[in-house]
Amino acid sequence: MEIIEKGLKKFNKFQMKKPFMFLFFVLVFTLVMGYSATNIYFSSDFMDQLPQDIDAIQSSEMLYDKIGGSDHVVVLLEADVSEEGIKDIRDPEAVESIFKLHRELEDEPLIDNVESVASFFGDGNIPDGKEGVKRVLSQVEGTDNLFNKQYTATMVEITANIPDDEVSIQEFNEDVEENVEQVGGPYNLDGVLTGTTPLRVEILGYLESDMMVTTLWASVLIYLFISLVKKSFKWGAAIFVPLLFGLTWTLGTIAIIDIPVTIATVMVGPMILGMAVEYGSFAVERYKEEVSETPTLDEVRDGLNGSIPYVGASMTGSATTATAGFLALLIATFPMIEDLGIFLALGIINSLLSALVVSPLLIFSIEYTSLFFRGGGESD
- Of the candidate CATH numbers 3.30.70, 3.30.1490, 1.10.260, 3.30.160, the domain formed by 69-200 belongs to 3.30.70
Q: Determine the Cα angle at 19 with ends 255 and 358, to 5°.
A: 35
Neighbours of 288 (CB within 10 A): 17
Cβ atoms of 23 and 365 closer than 8 Å: yes
DSSP designation for 214: H
Q: How far is CA 95 from CA 113, 142, 285, 354, in A?
A: 19, 17, 74, 64
CA distance 292 to 296: 9
Cβ atoms of 114 and 43 closer than 8 Å: no
Q: Which CATH architecture group holds 2-38+232-373?
A: Up-down Bundle (1.20)
In the chain, domain spans: 2-38+232-373, 69-200
pLDDT in tens, the chain (380 residues): 678 888 988 998 899 889 999 999 999 999 999 999 999 988 887 666 666 666 655 665 565 555 555 678 899 999 888 888 888 888 898 889 999 999 999 888 889 889 898 888 877 788 888 889 888 888 888 788 888 888 899 999 998 888 878 888 888 888 988 888 887 778 888 888 888 888 888 888 898 899 999 999 999 999 999 999 988 898 999 999 999 999 999 999 999 998 989 888 999 999 999 999 999 999 999 999 888 888 888 899 999 988 888 899 889 999 999 999 999 999 988 888 999 999 999 999 999 999 999 999 999 999 988 887 776 555 44
CA proximity to 94, closest of 30, 15, 182, 186: 186
CA distance 4 to 11: 11
Q: What is the pTM of this model?
A: 0.80
